[in-house]
Amino acid sequence: MTTTLIAAPKRMLDLTVDGQAVRVLEGSTLLDACRLAGIDTPTLCYGDTLTPVNVCRVCVVELEGARTLVPSCSRKAEAGMVVHTDSERVRTSRKLVLELLGSSVDLSLAPEALEYIERYDAKPERFGADAATVAQDVKVDNDLYVRDYSRCILCYKCVSACGEDAQNTFAIAVAGRGFGAHISTELDVTLPESACVYCGNCIAVCPTGALMSKSEYDRRRAGTWDEASEEVVTTVCPYCGVGCNLELHVQGDDIVNVTSPDDHDVTRGNLCIKGRFGFQFVQNRK
């Protein structure tokens, strides 16, 4: 993954990341610079197709001359910056942020977060068994997907995907505040009562398994979920003429999920209800 900047007359900026000289296009972020320098930087709320909200703070880096650490995913590179991505301060912050998340949220289906926890030797259990969590019942209120907000890290990705960054439906938003902040429809009504059109674009961006297709959820509960056997078949959506690329995730004889590649020009990972969930009709006809 490199920077994807296309506008013509942009300057190149020279900066230093972990002692390496890095040259990036003006407009790039420090995360872009880290990636260019081959430095693997953890991110949770950042998505290549979404406007950075810089809320998870797991991507922070140390910028010489700055009072605090800065989020690499949104901080724009400037000429002459000297950046450290693996200092004691950076490691402490990344580790504690992961501990704060791990102690309050069920991360068992969040592969990136689990990997970072291991990488930074984070110990979420340090806060004890009584530490407050966001544990709550799973919301199962429709046949297409479920919402398990006890797994939600509040990365805002679903809100961006449902709103300005993709779907323009604005069915969900962040409500409440502080530790009580949560993703919600208006007045917390069920999805069928909300503006949701079941495009599933929120599911596609959710990094924690908080949003999950009903088919996956049911299989997991029944113990028939078998990720190891899963194969991905690429095809073009048959429902209309747009030509969205589909990735059919197949376990045994069943299509269990449908996604679209993030780097596909047309979809940028997004689909509509037919592409995302139409496979159920294919299967029901069997």
Partner 1 sequence: MDLRLLDALPTDAERDAIDAVVGEADGASDRVAHADRTRRHLLLPALRAAQLRVGWVSEGALGYASRRLSVPPADAYGVASFYALLALEERPADLTHVCTDLSCALKGARVAPGEHASPCLGLCERAPASYRTIAGVAPRELQLPESGPPLPQAGDSSLRLLRRIGAGIDPTSLEAYVAAGGFEQLRRARELGGDTVIGELKESRLLGRGGAAFPTGVKWEAVAGQQAQPHYVVCNADESEPGTFKDRVLMESDPFALVESIAIAAFATGARKAFIYVRAEYPLAHERIRNAIARSAPHLDGIEIELRIGAGAYVCGEETALFQSIEGYRGEPRNKPPFPVEVGLFGKPTAVNNVETLFNVLEVLRDGGADYALTGTEGSTGTRLFCVSGCVERPGLYELPFGATLRELLELAGSAPPKAVLLGGAAGAFVGPELLDLKLTHEDTRAAGVTLGSGVVIVYDERAELVPALLRIAEFFRDESCGQCVPCRVGTVRQEEALMRLAAGAPHADERETLAELAQVMRDASICGLGQTAANAIESAIVNLGVFA
199 makes contact, choosing from partner 1, ligand SF4, ligand FES, none, with CB < 5 to 8 Å by partner type, with ligand SF4
Q: Which residues contact 267 (CB under 8 A, 6 or more apart)?
A: 244, 245, 260, 261
Q: Which residues pair with 248 in a beta bridge?
A: 233, 258
- Answer whether 257's CB lies under 8 Å from 215's CB: yes
Does 121 sit near partner 1 (CB under 8 A)? no
Which region, judged by CB under 8 A, interacts with partner 1, from 11-19, 130-138, 211-219, 252-260?
A: 130-138
- Answer whether 196's CB lies under 8 Å from 169's CB: yes
The least CB distance from residue 211 to partner 1, in Å, is 15
- Surface-to-core class of residue 24, CB atoms within 10 Å of its CB (0-12 exposed, 13-18 middle, 19+ buried): buried
200 makes contact, choosing from ligand SF4, ligand FES, partner 1, none, with CB < 5 to 8 Å by partner type, with ligand SF4
Does 55 sit near partner 1 (CB under 8 A)? yes
From the list 171, 191, 205, 272, which residue makes contact with partner 1 (rule: CB under 8 A)? 171
DSSP classification of residue 40: -
Return d(Cα 61, Cα 69) in angstroms, integer.
Answer: 6
142 makes contact, choosing from partner 1, ligand SF4, ligand FES, none, with CB < 5 to 8 Å by partner type, with none
Return d(Cα 53, Cα 225) in angstroms, integer.
Answer: 33
**Strands (DSSP E) along the chain, which ranges?**
12-17, 20-25, 60-63, 70-71, 82-84, 145-147, 173-175, 182-184, 211-213, 231-236, 245-251, 254-259
Phi and psi at residue 151, in whole multiples of 5°? -105, 5
Paired tokens of 15: 């900066």
The least CB distance from residue 169 to partner 1, in Å, is 7
Does 58 sit near ligand FES (CB under 6 A)? yes
131 makes contact, choosing from ligand SF4, partner 1, ligand FES, none, with CB < 5 to 8 Å by partner type, with partner 1
- Answer whether 99's CB lies under 8 Å from 123's CB: yes
Does 202 sit near ligand SF4 (CB under 6 A)? yes
Measured from the CB atom, the residue of 123 and 221 that comes closer to partner 1 is 123
Paired tokens of 97: 């942020």
Does 146 sit near partner 1 (CB under 8 A)? no
The least CB distance from residue 163 to ligand SF4, in Å, is 8
Q: What number of chain residues touch ligand SF4 (CB under 6 A)?
A: 27
Q: C-alpha 60: how far from its chain's center?
A: 17
Does 57 sit near ligand FES (CB under 6 A)? yes
- Answer whether 83's CB lies under 8 Å from 61's CB: yes
Measured from the CB atom, the residue of 25 and 73 that comes closer to ligand FES is 73
The least CB distance from residue 162 to ligand SF4, in Å, is 3
- Answer whether 155's CB lies under 8 Å from 257's CB: no
**Which residues make up the interface to partner 1 (CB under 8 A)?**
53-58, 60, 68-69, 71, 74-76, 89, 92-93, 96-97, 100-101, 103-104, 126-128, 130-132, 153-154, 163, 168-181, 184-188, 194-195, 197
**Which residues make up the interface to ligand SF4 (CB under 6 A)?**
152-158, 161-162, 167, 169, 171-172, 183, 196-202, 205-208, 210-211
**Which residues make up the interface to ligand FES (CB under 6 A)?**
43-46, 54-59, 71, 73
